[in-house]
Amino acid sequence: GAVRVAVRTLCLAALLGALGAGGTELTLELPDSAQRCFHQELESGIKFTLDYQVISGGHYDVDCYVEDPNGKTIYQETKKQYDSFSHHTETKGVYTFCFSNEFSTFSHKIVYFDFQVGDEPPILPDMNNRVTALTQLESACVTIHEMLNAVIDSQTHYRLREAQDRSRAEELNGRVSYWSVGETLILFMVSIGQVMLLKSFFTEKRPSGGGAGT
């Protein structure tokens, strides 16, 4: 009884740690020739990680840059489909990260990003300061926690792949539909032209009147 309760408690803590370790996740629509910026106030000496991926639109690329509170650019990439950036803050203040689609004049993008701040807290109390080895129960819970994190990452990856593939399928379906409509119109016009041409061949031309009078 007591062992089962301890196992359930530790495994529940591992599950909650895995689910609560993530940061801010957001999917945004980025119109053509537009830019969207986000701001986060951070303390000095804090680690943050920015992961992003373009789900749909154009060539699935976007510009991204990150600035520190002094306006210094600490990260900048152009026309990236996806990327990950980690940084330890040196200055306290508001950090800004922006996504830009200003290079595109006709296609809007859908961008997913995950912004995580700080390191993941330890699963077990005083885990980082322990001098003794973990027990079999504690090792099992740590393994479960790591597997749950892997499952969450895999679910996020497959969810983004599914959204990207669905967007490509819808875009391809639209192109096929437009092409089919265009072919139908062309065939209709060609058919009308052929009918009119054949009709002109079989139309009798009446001779012009006006014989010579006597």
Torsion on CA atoms 100, 160, 172, 99, rounded to nearest 10: 0
> What is the tens place of the pLDDT at every residue in 146-164?
788 778 777 877 777 787 7
- The mean pLDDT of the chain is 78
The pLDDT value given to residue 129: 58
| Beta strands per DSSP E along 47-123 | 47-56, 62-67, 73-80, 82-88, 93-100, 109-117
Q: 29 and 117 in one domain?
A: yes
Domain that holds residue 85: 21-121
Share of the chain above pLDDT 70, in %: 76
The pLDDT value given to residue 59: 85
- Confirm if 93 and 149 have CB atoms less than 8 A apart: no
Is residue 2 scored above 50 in pLDDT?
no
The pLDDT value given to residue 123: 63
Q: Is the residue at 158 inside a domain?
A: yes
Q: 182 and 112 in one domain?
A: no
The pLDDT value given to residue 140: 78
Q: 153 and 63 in one domain?
A: no
Q: Is the residue at 6 inside a domain?
A: no
214 vs 212: CA distance, rounded Å: 7
Instruction: Identify the CATH number of the domain in which residue 89 sits.
Output: 2.60.120.380
The pLDDT value given to residue 209: 56
Q: 111 and 36 in one domain?
A: yes
Between 14 and 199, residue with greater pLDDT? 199
Give the chain's domain count.
2
The pLDDT value given to residue 195: 86
> What is the tens place of the pLDDT at every residue in 71-118?
999 999 999 988 999 999 999 999 999 999 988 888 888 899 989 887
Q: Is the residue at 75 inside a domain?
A: yes
Residue 45 zone, left/alpha/beta (φ > 0; ψ -120 to 50; rest) = left
Between 213 and 136, residue with greater pLDDT? 136
| Residue 105 CB coordination number (10 Å) | 8
Q: Is the residue at 206 inside a domain?
A: no
Q: 179 and 98 in one domain?
A: no
Is residue 4 scored above 60 in pLDDT?
no
**Tokens at 163, concatenated:** 């959204």
